[in-house]
Amino acid sequence: MGQQAVTDAAAQQERERQRQKAVQPRPEEKEAVEASEVSPDLGSLQMLKEKPGLPFFRVRADQTYNWLSNANYARNSFNVVAAWQAISSLEAAWAPTFSTMPGYEKFFPEVGVRASFFNYFQQEEPASTFPQSSNQNGLYDIGLVQDFVLMSLFFRGTKQVTDELSVGLSFDYNGYFYLNSPTDREQSLGAGNAGETNFLNEFNLAYNASFFHPFTENQAVAVNWRASYVLTDPTYFTRTDNNLTGTYFVNLSDKISLTPFASYRLAYYTDASTAPATADYNNQGQLTGTANGFYRRLDQQYTLGVGLNFQLSPELSTGLNFNYSKSDSTSQIAETGDFTNLTAGANWSMTYKFSEKEFVVPSPSACLGPYVRTDLGFGFVNNLSSSRNLSGTILPGITGTLANPSLSMNPGLRFDVSPGYNFNDWLGAEFSAGILYNGLDHLNGSGSVTTAAGTQAVGSGGVTLTGRYLQVPALASAVFRWPGTSRWKPYLSTGFGMAYSQLQINQVGTLETSDNMTQQFSPAFQVGSGFLWQVSDMVDFCMMYKLLGIINPDYSSLQPGVALSNSFQLGINIRF
């Protein structure tokens, strides 16, 4: 149910953005201007010029409390559970303007991070009399089993084509974290079933189109279309996910608005051959075998709803909502697919935008001289793989034989500190030192592995790994910036140096190891690209991508050639 809960929450967030657009006051006919003094020999004459658009930083906190008639989004009666759901979120985003670049005045980029806590409580038992519903093992203790945290990193770019039509591209990364251990979940769901297959990390690439048409001062209509391609980790499947929503806005007063809507979602799972088989039940809840429920799966979801919203202040709003959803799926598994759900709830949100006064820049500068930049973001490590078959000691604390070996990593974090110096308008140099931390995910290949706890076979799908992969690069780089005094400064960088890396394995499959580790000092290189946005005389905000390569590391007998890591980071640059 994790993926479906997030899909529903994202749809509600998009409707809230449209509502805020609908209740905003219409822009003034004239452009905002400011007066500036001129030379004293012209007397008291003042000149009027357009105020420059300035970037803003946004912080948002919101909560939603919903009653769900089908908290599991289940197809079969003995899995249908009604429960209360609470979603608490904190979001930070940066949305600069491009008024200094002709042709980009109506281009609106946005980058940010959102953390959401999904909590379930006050569940109601199903009415079915099947033995599975007797709750002998705490099967419906969903507060224990299904609470989770969602971390989302998003990049959006929207272009206003006309006064009513906007189009855009976006990238979202959704990472899931349980609020309990696998042992806790197995106690409720049964041994060997920790509910992992319904919580898959997602990479979401999407195209969006939005048509917004006001009829009067108090009424408007919006039509939104979103077409996305989703990749998951582990790679059980990819899917296309499309959504069309129509919303009608009625401002009953300057504080109260009504928003009825209708939505249609179509999702097709394009590659699911490696998904694990799950239990297959008929409509009466009788077990009919096992099946790959994601293979060639097509889902259709219809949602009708209405919201009543109260704008208590420019920063604070609250509201009530009621939705009816019905999903039809070609999948026959008991997981999310065919379901009917009623949702009734309340919500509040508080958004604070830092005012222009806090970001006033008297005039853009060339930003020459020394600086220090700190960067923080997500790091993704490519599989550490080797074409050479391994035997003997193949990894720290692990012996055995393995053909086509590779290690896959979970998404992690990267932090860097980079002092530097800008020599002129387009060239600078910097030294950067940082740390990348990634948890281990799977050991793949064909063969068997042995630890002090025993021996385990490695076949199709690999075996799970517990441990860490640590990288500490120290690099000297040349930085090439776009010349000029615009506040927006794209740049490219390339650098070389050394990197310390450490691979530690605590457990392979069900076998614990001796927490052995191997470490290396290796040559390293890095290329990067991004942009700076000048927000004061001394401070820039930054967004960047970095590709780090560690050359020929040797982890026991695993030699991956060049270990590559991809990082997406946000930073603050302070000039002196």
Q: Is residue 144 part of a domain?
A: yes
Q: What is the pLDDT of residue 139?
A: 44
70-128 pLDDT per residue, tens: 887 877 666 777 888 889 898 988 887 766 666 777 888 888 899 888 887 766 655 44
List, in sequence order, every residue forming a beta bridge with 532; answer none if it has no partner. 489, 542
Q: Please indicate, yes or no, whether residues 335 and 382 belong to a single structural domain of this protein.
A: no
Residue range of the domain that includes 77: 2-21+52-358
Judge if 100 and 246 occupy the same domain.
yes
Residue after which a domain boundary falls, among 333, 358, 383:
358
Q: Quickly tell me which residue has 């004239």 as its tokens.
A: 30
Integer Cα distance of 344 and 12 in angstroms: 13
Cα separation, 520 vs 500, whole angstroms: 6
pLDDT of amino acid 73: 82
Statement to judge: residues 308 and 369 lie in one domain: no
| Cα–Cα distance measured from residue 303 to residue 262, given in angstroms and rounded to the nearest whole number | 6
What confidence score (pLDDT) does residue 50 get?
Answer: 43
Task: Return the CATH number at 95.
Answer: 2.40.160.40
Q: How far apart are CA 426 and CA 422, in angstroms?
A: 8
Its sign, for the CA torsion 79, 84, 90, 93, is: positive
Do 351 and 393 fall into the same domain?
Answer: no
Q: What is the pLDDT of residue 313?
A: 82
Looking at the structure of the chain, the number of domains it has is 2
Q: Are residues 251 and 161 in the same domain?
A: yes
SS3 215: coil
Establish if 109 belongs to a structural domain: yes
What is the structure's pLDDT at 285?
61
pLDDT at 301: 93
Residue 38 forms part of a structural domain: no
Pair (277, 409) in one structural domain: no
Same-domain status, 510 and 478? yes
Name the stretches of the chain with pLDDT < 50: 26-52, 127-144, 188, 190-197, 357-360
Q: Are residues 173 and 80 in the same domain?
A: yes
At 39 the pLDDT is 46
CA distances from 172 to 20, 175, 201, 228, 411 (A): 22, 10, 11, 10, 14
Q: Based on the domain organization, do 264 and 400 belong to the same domain?
A: no
Amino acid sitting at position 160: Q
Indicate whether 447 belongs to any domain.
Answer: yes
In a domain, 111, yes or no: yes
Cis peptide before 234 (omega within 30 of 0): yes
The answer to the question of residue 508 being in a domain is: yes
Do 409 and 348 sit in the same domain of this protein? no
Chosen domain end from 358, 379, 400: 358
418 with 272, same domain: the answer is no
pLDDT value of residue 280 = 67
Whether 43 is in a domain gets the answer no
Q: At which of 307, 342, 358 does a domain end? A: 358
**pLDDT at res. 364:** 55
Q: Residue 9's pLDDT is what? A: 80
What is the pLDDT, as a whole number, of residue 43? 47
Residues 204, 175: Cα–Cα separation, whole Å: 11
Residue 35 covered by a domain? no
Q: Do residues 99 and 132 lie in contact, with contact meaning Cβ atoms separated by under 8 Å? A: no
Q: Are residues 267 and 367 in the same domain?
A: no
